[in-house]
Amino acid sequence: MTADLPFKLPQFIAGHVWLVGAGPGDPGLLTLHCVNALKQADHILYDALVDHSCLKLAKQGAVLEFAGKRGGKPSLKQQEITERMICLAREGKRVLRLKGGDPFVFGRGGEEALALIEAHIPFRVFPGITAGIAGPAYAGIPVTHRSVNHSVLFLTGHDADGTVPKSFDWKAISRAAPVLVFYMAMKHIDEIADDLMKGGRKNDEPVMFITHATTSNQRIYKTELGRIKQAIKEHDIEPPTIVVVGKVVSLSDKLAPNIVTDELDNRSL
């Protein structure tokens, strides 16, 4: 496919590392740079949220190595992944670090890039579509809508040690943007909801859970901020899940049923 393009894509040089975002799950959301990387890489270190159908684009003979990196699931430690990249690059391999979503949006890509610099390993970064935008879009939620909000805040639901981020000023966050999009928040979602309401958000504010965003397994569940605990119990909502808080969630009532889909017709409201 890439050979027929009216422009040239970069050559993957031996001994280099490419940090590439594979998008949120739907293979159709892969960038051309990602496809180009898959077709040239000798060794692919891929995360748990990378859709396996994407890996079928890898060139024949490429080594596919699972690196994990999914909250609460067994995986390599970050230091082990970094050391593995460096070691393979020093062996002269074209090393593709394939990450779900975007490498620099809650993806530890910055940490890996800094480690590569310290090790004097040349690298490139290719962004990917992040789940915090694509998931809501597939669920009929525009994260910005002119008559509703002019800002959106993206947050992680846990700190480096697995707890709710200690640096968060929940009162400031509650006032900062009309729409909040949480990644990796399910482990502490009850506490997060309580903190938001204490910070000033209303308990009847619309909330949407989007599980397995953009994939054929995508499910969407609408509730209110004050009913989050009940919704999780009723629907057995588990990670990976994007959580959207704000009035734009209500737009899904009209948009979601009218979005033309293929595999995503199994969504629920």
d(Cα 253, Cα 230) in Å, to the nearest integer? 21
228-235 and 189-198 are packed helices; what angle lies between their axes, rounded to 10 degrees? 160
Instruction: Check 26, 47, 51, 102 and give the catalytic one.
Output: 47
* Contacts for 265 with CB less than 8 Å, ≥ 6 apart: none
Residue with tokens 């805040």: 153
Does the annotation mark 69 as catalytic? yes
Partnered with residue 114 across adjacent β-strands are: none
Does the annotation mark 85 as catalytic? no
Task: Let me know: does 79 contact 60? Beta carbons within 8 Å.
Answer: no
Task: Let me know: does 138 contact 213? Beta carbons within 8 Å.
Answer: yes
Does the annotation mark 42 as catalytic? no
For 151, the token pair is: 């800002």
Partnered with residue 65 across adjacent β-strands are: 45
Q: Which residues of 198-232 are buried (b: 16+ CB within 10 A; e: fewer)?
A: ebebeeebbbbbbbbbbbeebbbbbbbbbebeebb
Instruction: Check 26, 42, 51, 69 and give the catalytic one.
Output: 69
- What Cα–Cα distance (Å) separates residue 239 from each residue in 59, 169, 220, 243, 250? 31, 25, 12, 10, 22
Q: Is the peptide bond before 239 cis (omega within 30 degrees of 0)?
A: no
Instruction: Check 184, 186, 208, 222 and give the catalytic one.
Output: 184
Using DSSP, state whether 30 is helix, strand or coil.
coil
Q: Annotated catalytic sites, by residue?
A: 47, 69, 184
